[in-house]
Structure formats: C-alpha cells, structure tokens
A and B are shown apart, each in its own frame.
Chain A
C-alpha cells in the first residue's frame, strides 16, 4: 500500500489532481481509497467527489495535520482494516502542512510501503502567495517529494520559468514539473514519478 499526500495552498488544484489520479489508478485496476480533509465544518470537496462518482471519506471541521491528527490516524487504521486498498490518497486542507501529515501517517502503523508528498502550486497566484505568505508557503512545500506548478495553460509568458527558478532556489534537488490538471498536460509524467 502506498500513501500519497497532496499538499498545496487553497485553490491550487488539489481536488482536481486527486480526481485525475484516482481515475488513473482505477484504470490500472488499483484499489484506491480517498481521504479528504476540510478545515471548515461544511465541506464541499467530499460532495464534489461524490457528485463526480468518487467515493471519498471526509474529515471536516479541522486540520488533519494538527487539530484532527488523531482522527486521521483512526481513519487510516479503519481504511487499512476495512478496505485494504493499494493506494490511499490524502488531500489535506489548503492550510495544512503536509510534512506533518506524513509524520502522522508513519505513526499510524498501517504498514505502508512508502508515502509520497506531491506539492502543488497555482501559477496564477504564485506571486501573490509568495508576497503575502512566503514563510507559510515555503513550509507547505518543504516536505514535498516533487512539486507541480499547476494551471500552466493559464500562465503568462515567463511565469513558469520564474516560479520554477524560485522553487529550485528554495528546494534544490526537488523536481519541479509544470502541469495543467484541467487539460491533462504532463500528468502521465507525474504518474510515472509517483511509482
């Protein structure tokens, strides 16, 4: 069993990526369990996933990296025991710190083969985010195994290169891949990186 954690800021495209990946896994006959966390009491992502035909476990009303850490670990144990999937995909809130989620997954003792953090950033709001919340964004991305720059189809000339340079400077050695989850650009490459 492999655990994937999709980490990124609010609106970066985590849910869209999750749906794409879940479809890719299902097409390859892999059993997938999806765990979605939302910070508010009222969730929308779970409803979205269900409306699109995906079966997801929702953990609302808090953040699984801190206030709902016990809930996350309990849910993982239940998923392992009840579903025993090949893949677990976790989508934390857009305000979570993914490396903390990974620590919690480790400590849940579910015998996963490996866990992978996929960092995802929105190219359209990259500069705004860096300007206003640079430290937080840096912490969000620091645990990522690789980083996707999403919405490449909407990027202005030079934006992808500039964001890539910033990320390479902050996180030397981490692969940075421009993608468009909406259009499917580079997602096969991402799938290959995940194996």
Chain B
C-alpha cells in the first residue's frame, strides 16, 4: 500500500454553471493531514446481516469464515496484524463474539448463546497492509463459502462496489469510488461547493476502479481513459486493443470498454455470487 497520499482534487473535472465560482482549488495542499489509520497503513472493512438457524455448528462455520479471511490477510501482508471479529446477537442484544487475532491461536469464542432461528451478525476486520476493497471481497467470499444460511444487509455494503456486480440486487451500483493505489476512498475529499445551478459531475464516472480490472500507472491512477489508440475495425470482433483492460471491440470497431456488455460478460459468475450474498438465492446446508 502506498504511503503517499495523492491529491485528487483536480481530477473531478466538473463544470460550473455560468457565474458559479469554483472553490475546488482554494484549499491549501499542505492541509492533507493523514489520519492515524493512514499513518499505520491500516484499513477496516465489514458488513452486517442475519443468519438463520444459528447453533453450535453455525458458530463453527462462522469461525471458519474468520480463519479464511485471516489466511488471506496473512498471505497478503505476511502476518496478521490486526483483528477479524464477528458479533452474533439476538434482538435483545445478547450474544457471542468471535475474535481472530493470531492464526496459531485460532478463533476465540466469547460468551454462549442458545440455538436461535434467526440472529443478527456484525462481521468486521481492521488489519494492516491489505487493500480495503479486496478485503471486503474476501470477507464476502469467506462467509459465502462457509455454508451458513445467511443474508447480508445491503445497506451495510454501501461503501463497497464490485466490478460489474449487482451489489444491491437492483442493478444499483452504490458508490463508484476511486482507489488511488492506497486503497482509500477519495469520494468525499474534494469538498467543493456547488452554487445554485452548479452541477457536480464528480460521480458521473461510471466504472469501478478496482485493482483487478483496471489499468493503473505507477502512482495508482486510473488509465482507462488515457489510452489514445485508434479504434479501427477488428474483423473478428475479438481483438484486444492492448489498453490493458481486456476489453473487446465489436464488428464495427467500436470499443466497449465501459459499456454494459462487457460488464455483463465478465460478471456472470459474480452476479450469481453477490445475489446469493444478498439473499436472492440463499444457500442451504
């Protein structure tokens, strides 16, 4: 993860209506004081949801999910420095906590609770030296692979977007944030003000800047729109233009790098996965 924090203030390129002042450049760049989380190189991720038929067996499955995330963090950063936690509780707030701090010690179980038809859970990680977006992804995969009969609260994922995934099950791409290589969300940093009639175009940028699907230069900038190749006709409609995004050109030579068609083609498996996560096709034991 990059230690440097880049200023993204001038990247939004929005337009102000006539007579509207732009205040985007008023700030002093020296004011970019790093938060302690940034100083530590840490990140936090998590979501909430419900689990049906929670019993000792389900508790073990949840513990396995924590271990799976722990293995991912250990693999990414070399060691698990941080914690991976889950709280499981009933409507009255009573419940248990699972806590993974040390891979050798395994998951600590705190408290006891009787079998319940339905429980709520909070699943969170705060760790060092991993990408926040990927961490969330791994957490979701871990819980999906655990065999639990669960459903994730879509609103708890509002800060997380997936490449081509139908995150909330309604085709709504929640939050198209921009990772500049340090895994931080910069959506809320521009802090500019729009006068009456001054439109903000900061969020017009549709695609997701995920490390897995986009092309970055050395400082983590998105290069999706920087390529200047010519979109000549490709006879087979299958040529890659070499811009790094793996996109396809159709028969008339048009690129569809940012079109829905590519997303749909790429995300067939993911859509099913995330639909399941959100309870659209819950797994049963």
Contact = CB atoms under 8 A, between A and B. Distances in A.
Interface string B7-49: 0000000000000000000000000010111011110111110
A43 B35 contact: no
B37 A122 contact: no
Contacts of B37: 39, 63, 93, 95
A51 B159 contact: no
A110 B83 CA distance: 33
A95 B81 contact: no
B36 A128 contact: no
B154 interface: no
Point out which of A63, A94, A122 has the most chain B C-beta atoms below 10 A from its C-beta.
A94
Nearest to B113: A51
Contacts of B96: 51
- From DSSP, what is the main secondary structure of chain A's interface residues? loop
Interface in B72-113: 78-79, 81-83, 85-87, 89, 93-97, 99, 101-102, 105, 110-111
Point out which of A39, A45, A63 has the most chain B C-beta atoms below 10 A from its C-beta.
A39
A148 to B, nearest CB: 16
Interface residues of B, number: 43
Nearest to B120: A47
B233 to A, nearest CB: 48
Contacts of A125: 79, 81, 101-102
B93 A44 contact: no
A132 B167 CA distance: 35
Interface stretch (B124-132, B205-213, B236-244, B256-264): B124-132
Given A51-B89, A66-B36, A67-B35, A39 B44 contact: yes
A93 to B, nearest CB: 7
Contacts of B102: 11, 124-125
Nearest to B93: A50
Given A51-B94, A125-B102, A44 B40 contact: no
A44 B86 contact: yes
B97 A48 contact: yes
B123 interface: yes
Contact of B40 (A47, A48, A95): A95
A52 interface: yes
B128 A40 contact: no
A50 B96 CA distance: 10
Contacts of A25: none
A114 interface: no
B97 A42 contact: no
Q: Which 4 A-B pairs have the closest CB atoms?
A: A42-B46, A40-B44, A47-B87, A11-B101
14 contacts: A9-B81, A10-B42, A39-B37, A40-B46, A42-B124, A42-B156, A44-B46, A44-B85, A44-B86, A47-B89, A48-B110, A125-B101, A129-B81, A133-B128
Interface of B: 33, 35-37, 39-42, 44-48, 78-79, 81-83, 85-87, 89, 93-97, 99, 101-102, 105, 110-111, 122-129, 156, 159
